Amino acid sequence: MVAQDAPIAAAICDVLLPHAEIEGIAAARMLWYDHGIPCLILTSVQEASTRLAAIYAGAFGYVLKDMAEADVLVCSVLTLLAGQRPQDPLAALNISPHEAQQLAEIRAAHMRALEQLTPQQRVVAGLILEGKTNHEIATQLVLSRGTVNSHVSNILQRLNLATRRDVKTRVLLSTPGMGQRPTAPKGSV
């Protein structure tokens, strides 16, 4: 995902990456938290929960494709390259105080729901967030594929979810500290 021989100053991701191995918000999270690369989300997805998940994931900004004129996009990219983000991310995302309160309640409910998972299921859910397949999870955790399939099924059942994408959203919206900027990147580019 990240070139090892050329420094990357910034990235632009879409929330929906139909043919990619990883979704845009998870990509933004990995770029920022694992490599210290700031990311701008450029997308057509307008839901407040998705906008908030992007900020929790470490995205520096969120620009809607159908509302972004060229000068807005250029200004956003220049701000991103300068390592800056809006002073008030919620205001920049057009999330009202009422929406912010609703989202805080949703986040608390997501956190309570994740507490129902076993420690191993939480690890599997985190790896789903990273975009890992069941086969990759099995290899990484030294488990059989059947065990991982069972964990995924149990996660979906316990959290009353239908898809892996729902698991990603649940984990993103409930992970403590997701919106905090790290003091130093974990890896160097």
Structure tokens, 36? 């210290």
Q: What is the pLDDT of residues 157-175, one digit of tens each?
A: 988 888 887 787 777 666 5
Q: How far apart are CA 138 and CA 2, in angstroms?
A: 24
CA dihedral 64, 44, 164, 106 (to 10 degrees): 50
Which of 6-10, 78-82, 135-139 ranks highest by mean pLDDT?
135-139
Is residue 74 domain-shared with residue 109, that is, in the same domain? Answer: no
Q: What is the pLDDT of residues 69-115, one digit of tens each?
A: 777 777 777 877 777 765 444 455 566 677 777 767 777 777 788 88
In the chain, the number of structural domains is: 2
Is residue 100 domain-shared with residue 88, that is, in the same domain? Answer: no
Please give the pLDDT value at position 149. 94
Is residue 21 domain-shared with residue 41, that is, in the same domain? Answer: yes
Q: Is residue 189 situated within a structural domain?
A: no
Q: How far apart are CA 18 and CA 132, in angstroms?
A: 15
Is residue 152 domain-shared with residue 108, that is, in the same domain? Answer: yes
Task: Indicate yes or no: pTM above 0.85.
Answer: no
Domain extent at residue 102:
96-178
Neighbours of 170 (CB within 10 A): 24
Please give the pLDDT value at position 179. 36
